[in-house]
Structure 1
């Protein structure tokens, strides 16, 4: 999450730098040449790595393009089990998200916005993003399920509402081209959660 890699073993630092180089270069090439026109061979040549190395870092071309999403949610899913669990689950999930957003590397905002813009142009990325969202939702349900004695259906509903609030806020921020930076994103996320009670009783 942090740009300071000095505490990591050398092998992990090299792996993380390679992953970042692949993700950064992919976004640049996809933007300059087009997503479909850029091959995995093009990407490997630009970063000077083998396809085997590429697939050790990313399962697919779509995963490379949307690396900013997986960076955020991998960090979130790692943090949630250790987060303080006082009060309503929805509040706990939001607090953990705010903490995770604040700890992402300084360049995450730009990469996330670039991925969102690319997704708007590429149907395959839209479909992959929805699939990833589904998988992440299931992983989050499993992560919090062991910490709560809530009814499974209610627990699932809480997580789905959490994901919807995040998605609404992040899409709004992306539509504003990231105006206000990450502070604005965190404010929009907080606003989305605060608006939930009124949204649930919104007149037809």
Structure 2
């Protein structure tokens, strides 16, 4: 059994026991093809939750600093993560992400770029839209709703893929696509209200 499978199994057990996690809309996730999974970001536990509950293996962009910690570096690489230098246009990370979706893999992105301090969805950064507009990847909006506090209810919603086809040739397409992705994430959050 791979380290990824072991980690996923352990996190699945943890989230089911301590957070009574419920995944809603799994049928919306395409079974094949490249995917950009875009989620809101409320906790450091979001990547393992999304990676555990998403029906396909998710490769996350992780901040480059994590790859300087010897043991952690080995673990996150085994889990399929790849480094990104935040706050700058990291061309290598963009190339890696494009290559992955081109290989029909799933990359996971938190478009807000950092965790929300108040739990409200923040403005999205352009990375997720870049991958979608430069490839044939489908964008699956995801929303994590609830609390990671022990024995509180936690839900993760998977929406239908966001159609960005009409934006590919438009001026300012990246920002328009980012705004559309964030709108779909917000709609998933709102449906829980």
TM-score, with normalisation over the residues of structure 1? 0.32
If each structure's helix is expressed as a fraction of its own residues, which one has the higher value? 1
Greater C-alpha Rg: 1
